[in-house]
Structures are given as C-alpha cells and as structure tokens.
C-alpha cells in the first residue's frame, strides 16, 4: 500500500506539473461564437519568455475558420476556432512584437466570416537604424489554407498599418497607416498619417485622400466607401468622388464625439458610438447627417465591432472589469446573443461578427501551459503528497506492529 500510495502521488504530481489536457470538442460541424472568451496568460508573451511562446505556437497558419482573434500588448496572437472553441497561438510572419502596444486601435482583424485575418506587416524593428526601406504593409492570411498574401506599401523606411476594418461582404479592408522615418539622431519615428483602402479581390490599394486618420479604426462599406469620425465630424471617401466632410450636429439627436463607426451590409448606412463615456449608439446615413438618431446605449465604453446582418450590429461594452460583446438592431438597444470576455484587460479583440446570427456555444476553457510559478507550486504540492503518502504508510505499519504485539501478549 505504501508503494501504491507513493506511485499514486507521483503520477498525480506529474499531472500537476504538466497540467491536464482538455480534449477537443467533437461532433460539431456548424461554426459559432463561443459564449465566453478567455485572455491569453501574460507569461506566454514572447517579450517575456520566448521559450514558453515557441513551445506552444502552431506549426502553420492553417488553423481553420475562427470566431475571435486576440492580440496581447507584447505580440502574442491567438485565434479561437469557430467549430470547437479551441485556442491556437499563431506566429504571424512580419508582425513586430509590441505592435499592439504602439497601435491600440488594433493590429489584427478577422474578416466578418472568420476565414481570413488581416494584420500589420513590417520586417524591420520599430527601433531599427536601417538606412533602407523595410518591406512592409498589410498581410492577409487564409486561415483554411495558411497561405499569406502580401500587399506592400513603399513609403519612407517602411510603414506601420493598424486599425483594420473589413467591409461587411469581406471584399475591402480599410486601415490607418503611418510612414516610418529616421531622424538625424538615428531614432526611428513616424509621420504622414493617412488612410488606405485595399481591394482584396484585385489587390488594388488606394489612398483615401482628404480622410484624416483618427484614434479609432476607419470603416468601409460594401461599395468601397471609406468613413472616419472625430468629434462631431465624419468624413467619407469614394474613389470617384473624393472626400466629403459631414457635420453630425445637423442631427438634433446627436450628442458627444465619435468613437467608432461600422458600415451596414449592402447600404451606406452606418452605426456609430459617441459620448463622453462612449455610451451612446447612433444609426444614420452620412449622406444625410440629419438622419442620425440614437437607438441605445451601454456603459462606460461602447465600441462598434461590425455587423451581424442587414440590420444588426455587434458592440463591445466595457464596464469596469466586465467586458461583453452584444448585438443591437436599428429599432432599439440590445438583442440576440451575448459573449462574455474573461480577463480582457488590455487585450485587443477582433470578431467574426456574422457568426452572431446564430446562438453562441459553450466551450471549455483553454488548457494553457503552466507558468514557472505554477510549476513550482504544483511541484511543492506533489512532493508534499508524496511525503504524506510515505508518512501515512509508515504510521499504518507501526500501528499494525503494535496490534500484532498486543495479540501475542494476549
């Protein structure tokens, strides 16, 4: 029994050290959004421990259709499978570590159907002293095949693209761009902020001249119209008409400053969030600013993430430590499924919003590897279990000897 106890403790200790595995869900064929999204542990950040990251990264980018993409400040990027809810750490070639820290409007973005992922590409470090242009621009990954398409921007010493937004039909991608420069002191900086539109069907890139870069991602409609907003002003750009400036105060219902904008499928109608606390949700047509009306609101911070269908938008709401993704339609505030984001913190998120047309699905929490602190704690526990098992065995044998002696005396 002592031997069995020690062996049992040893086996349990090994499991505690290694961490038990959660088997993948099986028998699920229809894609869905997970009901809960869990943040990636900070110790898997490659800027903290490259070895921990390297041991967990996927061997290729063919991770399949995804419901969510997560980006940590240090550069860790993960996708969540739309089929079984499994998490995949991906190493996107040319994505500079720490890009999320510099560009908080997002450096990765899932297409609305979750089949492609756009991200910023720059083959030189942000602090590089290179004297020549660094290949850079936008890269798009086909998550089913793992193939990567390059869309290179030749400017300065390279560019940093960020704040990606897909058109509802997945054809166009709009994004902010900064040109990397080198000062006389040899440090690397940025200037010339502008907005571009990429046609993923043809590869054509066009600069949205007259549309300023703002702190939030731009939006782009199915017709290719690019939109940005700041304060009480919105700008639109069309390839055949150029830029138009819109005063949202023409609407009697408009209150606050523009925070985020997203385009409605098949039309030029958009949803926008605004307010000192980002708590107001509006819908309207930029061509007719007086048409904007308030349809609902949220908590301390509300951001439009994209469209679910012809009349429903997905919005991300942050209230203190609680972060929730929910849907709203043009007739009023919340409707449909909600997704809870656990431990959101400073994580950047991108969602395959069309998956919210159907109910969310419960999926097990990811089985992340253990941190060094967890391994030490579990190792100590394993040793304690083993010592306890040995001690219990010794005590039991002593009691048996005492009982045998008493029987002999009787």
Q: Quick one: CA dihedral 251, 255, 256, 260, positive or negative?
A: negative
d(Cα 311, Cα 314) in Å, to the nearest integer?
Answer: 10
Point out which residues pair with 26 in neighbouring strands.
none
Q: What angle do CA 214, 275, 193 make, to 5 degrees?
A: 5
Name the band, by pLDDT with cuts 50, 70 and 90, for residue 340: very high
With the C-alpha atoms ordered 22, 108, 102, 276, is the resulting torsion angle positive or negative?
negative
Q: What is the pLDDT of residue 393?
A: 65
Q: What is the pLDDT of residue 143?
A: 97
Q: Starting at the edge strand that comes first in sequence, how are the strands of the sheet with 136-142 ordered? A: 108-110, 116-122, 136-142, 148-152
Please check the confidence at residue 32 and state whether its pLDDT lies above 70. yes
Edge-first strand listing for the sheet containing 205-207: 159-166, 172-182, 188-199, 205-207
Kindly state the average pLDDT of the residues 302-314: 89
Candidates 191, 188, 236, 232; CA nearest to 212 is 236
Instruction: State the average pLDDT for the chain.
Output: 80
Cα separation, 223 vs 238, whole angstroms:
9
**The pLDDT of residue 82:** 96
Alpha-carbon dihedral sign for residues 306, 308, 311, 312: negative
Average the pLDDT over each of 72-81, 115-124, 379-388 and give the range with the smallest value.
379-388
Residue 219 has pLDDT above 80, yes or no: yes
* Average pLDDT of the residues in 358-368: 88
User: Could you give the CA distance from residue 231 to residue 79 in angstroms, rounded to a whole number?
Assistant: 33
The residue-averaged pLDDT of 152-163 equals: 86
For residue 223, is pLDDT > 90? yes
Query: Mean pLDDT over residues 278-283, rounded?
Result: 84
Position 309 pLDDT exceeds 90: no
Beta bridge partners of 246: 234
What proportion of the chain, given as a percentage, has pLDDT over 70?
75
Q: Which residue has the higher pLDDT, 171 or 40?
A: 171
Confidence at residue 292, expressed as pLDDT on a 0 to 100 scale: 94
Residue 59: what pLDDT? Answer: 82
pLDDT value for 380: 41
Mean pLDDT across 98-121: 86
Q: Mind listing the pLDDT tens digit for each residue in 117-136?
A: 999 998 875 555 556 788 88
**324-336: b or e for each residue (b if 16 or more CB lie within 10 Å)?**
bbbbbbbeeeeeb
> What integer pLDDT is reported at residue 27 of this predicted model?
44
Which of 237-241, 307-311, 324-328 is the most confident on average? 237-241
Checking if the pLDDT of 15 tops 50, the result is no
Average pLDDT of the residues in 83-108? 83
15 three-state secondary structure = helix
Average pLDDT estimate for 231-247: 95
Distance, CA of 205 to CA of 196 (rounded, Å): 7
Least confident of 40-54, 134-148, 361-375: 361-375
CB 350 within 8 A of CB 69: yes
pLDDT at 123: 83
Instruction: Find the helix packing angle between 2-18 and 372-409, rounded to 10°.
Output: 170
The mean per-residue pLDDT over the stretch 198-226 comes to 94
* 184 or 71, higher pLDDT: 71
- The pLDDT value recorded for residue 4 is 37
> What's the CA angle centered on 193, arms 188 and 197, to 5 degrees?
125
**Model pLDDT, residue 37:** 94
Q: Is the dihedral of CA 388, 393, 399, 401 positive or negative?
A: negative
Mean pLDDT confidence for 242-265 = 93
**DSSP string computed for 145-179:** T--EEEEE---TT-EEEEEEEE-TTSSEEEEEEEE
Which residues in 150-159 are b (16+ Cβ under 10 Å) and which e? ebebebbbbb
d(C-alpha 406, C-alpha 282), whole Å: 87
pLDDT at residue 228 is higher than 70: yes
* Strand-pair partners of 178: 160
Q: What average pLDDT does the segment 284-294 reach?
A: 94
When mean pLDDT is compared across 246-250, 295-299, 347-351, 386-390, the lowest value belongs to 386-390
**pLDDT tens track for 182-192:** 644 444 545 57
Local structure of 266: helix, strand or coil:
coil
Residue 386 has pLDDT above 80, yes or no: no
Q: Can you say whether residue 380 is alpha, beta or left, with left for phi > 0 and alpha for psi between -120 and 50 degrees?
A: alpha
Helix (H) or strand (E) holding 408: helix 372-409
pLDDT for the residue 51: 67
First and final CA of the chain: distance in angstroms? Answer: 28
């Amino acid at each position: 029994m002592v031997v069995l106890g020690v062996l049992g403790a040893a086996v349990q200790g090994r499991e505690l050290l290694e961490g038990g595995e959660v088997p993948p869900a099986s028998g699920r064929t229809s894609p869905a959004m997970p009901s809960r999204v869990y943040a990636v542990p900070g110790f898997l950040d490659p800027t903290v421990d490259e070895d921990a990251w390297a041991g967990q990264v996927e061997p290729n980018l063919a991770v399949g259709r995804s419901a969510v993409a997560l980006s940590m400040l240090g550069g860790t990027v993960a996708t969540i499978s739309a089929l079984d809810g499994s998490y995949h750490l991906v190493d996107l070639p040319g994505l500079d570590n720490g890009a999320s820290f510099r560009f908080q409007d997002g450096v990765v973005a899932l297409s609305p159907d979750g089949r492609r992922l756009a991200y910023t590409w720059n083959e030189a470090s942000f602090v590089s002293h290179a004297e020549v242009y660094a290949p850079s621009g936008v890269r798009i990954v086909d998550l089913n095949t793992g193939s990567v398409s390059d869309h290179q921007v030749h400017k300065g010493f390279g560019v940093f693209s960020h704040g990606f937004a897909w058109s509802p039909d997945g054809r166009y991608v709009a994004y902010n761009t900064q040109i990397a420069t080198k000062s006389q002191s040899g440090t690397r900086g940025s200037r010339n902020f502008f907005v571009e539109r990429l046609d993923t069907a043809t590869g054509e890139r066009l600069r949205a001249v007259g549309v300023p870069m703002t702190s939030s991602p731009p939006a782009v409609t199915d017709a290719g119209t690019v939109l940005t907003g700041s304060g009480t002003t919105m700008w639109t750009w069309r390839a055949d008409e150029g830029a138009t400036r819109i005063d949202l105060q023409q609407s009697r219902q408009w209150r606050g400053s523009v925070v985020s904008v997203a385009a409605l499928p098949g039309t030029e109608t958009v949803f926008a969030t605004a307010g000192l606390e980002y708590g107001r949700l509006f819908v309207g047509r930029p061509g007719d600013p007086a048409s904007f009306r308030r349809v609902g609101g949220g908590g301390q911070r509300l951001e439009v993430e994209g469209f679910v269908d012809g009349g429903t938008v997905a919005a991300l709401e942050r209230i203190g430590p609680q972060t929730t993704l929910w849907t709203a339609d043009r007739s009023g505030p919340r409707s449909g499924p909600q997704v809870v984001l656990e431990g959101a913190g400073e994580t950047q998120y991108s969602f395959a919003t069309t998956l919210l047309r159907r109910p969310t699905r419960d999926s097990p929490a990811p089985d992340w590897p253990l941190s060094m602190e967890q391994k030490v704690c579990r190792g100590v526990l394993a040793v304690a279990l083993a010592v306890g098992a040995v001690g219990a065995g010794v005590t039991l044998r002593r009691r048996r000897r005492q009982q045998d002696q008493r029987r002999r005396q009787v």
